[in-house]
Structure 1
Amino acid sequence: MATRPARNKPPPDREVSDGGLFSARGSIVTHATAFTPAAVAVTPALVVGPTLTDDGYQALRSYARTVADQAGVLATFASHDDYRVTDFSAIYVAPLEWDADDTAPLVLIAEALAAGVPVHVPQDPADAMACELCEMTITVYVEPGHRGDVLCGQDRFLDLSCAHCGEGADHDDYMEVVEADETWVFVHKGCVAEGRRVHGPDAFVTD
């Protein structure tokens, strides 16, 4: 279970150990290179919502995983307002309530609108779609494919690169969605097993 950071403050600096980049909680992010948007095939999306309470933070974290699963994008859940919104492909607004003094999501939405970064508000349940391959119900905005097809994140896995080894996916080693430094990323199942074998069972956070 992730721990909510201090109010509207960036997470602590990450440390490099044993050739891998670790988050402040000790979760391995990549093996040989720093985890940056350039290290993987997909630019992260930023998911905004409540940050001031533990329950709100956990709900935001959970919704960010839904965005990663369904949209096939890296999904950072915004625990503070100190982000450069232009570093993200889009802003997803979580369908959650937050207190009036919880200003971080409003600040980020305003900055994104001013910068021309797409802002995806929660969809009406009537607008839910089904993945054309697996029929998963998709409740978040998904960019249609070049043929107009709608695919969930799990069926877009061949377009992704592993955040651990940097290599692409294949049919013999599917991707899992794991958390690294407040971002849900995609990692080969084999890399998850290797990371846990080398660094312990908490090397990748999956729930």
Structure 2
Amino acid sequence: MSWLLALHSSSPVLGVGLRSLEDDIPDQVRQFPLGRDLSGALLESVESLLPAQSWPALARLAVATGPGGFTGTRLTVVLARTLAQQLEIPLDGVGSFLLVARRLHLAGPTWLSQALPRRGVVAGVYGPCPEALGGMAQRREPRLYEDSEALRAAEPDLPVLAAEVDVERDVVQLLDLSAEAHAAAVPAPWQPVLPLYPTAPVPL
């Protein structure tokens, strides 16, 4: 049995997904509302789906790279990078906003935004792209803007939607995208996979 493991911690709820790459069995997706307790419970949460002794059966990994909380996103990315390096398997790093874009089935280029109290708005542009794996692509990388008016000044003709995380459904999107990459034998080295946090307190 070979497995695909997906990790998503771009919100206070950790999402962990497991999919068989050989048998037609249902995905396992669990949510863990850990908040700031993520650092102490991350490994235990992953092992609740796939015990450590079974990690050599992993064929591919996927991790949501943010935007999200600095510590939470960084922890899961570091774990995913470490596992991919040690097991010598591909690692797909996927932006959390791209997962939302896929779930919303955007019909055209659209701003996806997330308000940060007292800091501004993190937003990026996403839309359909036949050439992209999964048919959806990031067109403008998420970054911090002063407010929604700044988005309209940058791309005045595009609609603006909230990038609301739905952990369970977004983990499924992450599994789907990584499974497509596996089926197409898309290379995915672990080295370029880094957390995306537009207001990081220190350089990444």
Query: What is the TM-score normalised by the length of structure 1?
Result: 0.31
User: Which structure: greater strand fraction?
Assistant: 2
User: Which structure: greater helix fraction?
Assistant: 2
Ranked by relative contact order (alpha carbons within 8 Å, sequence separation 6 or more), the top structure is 2
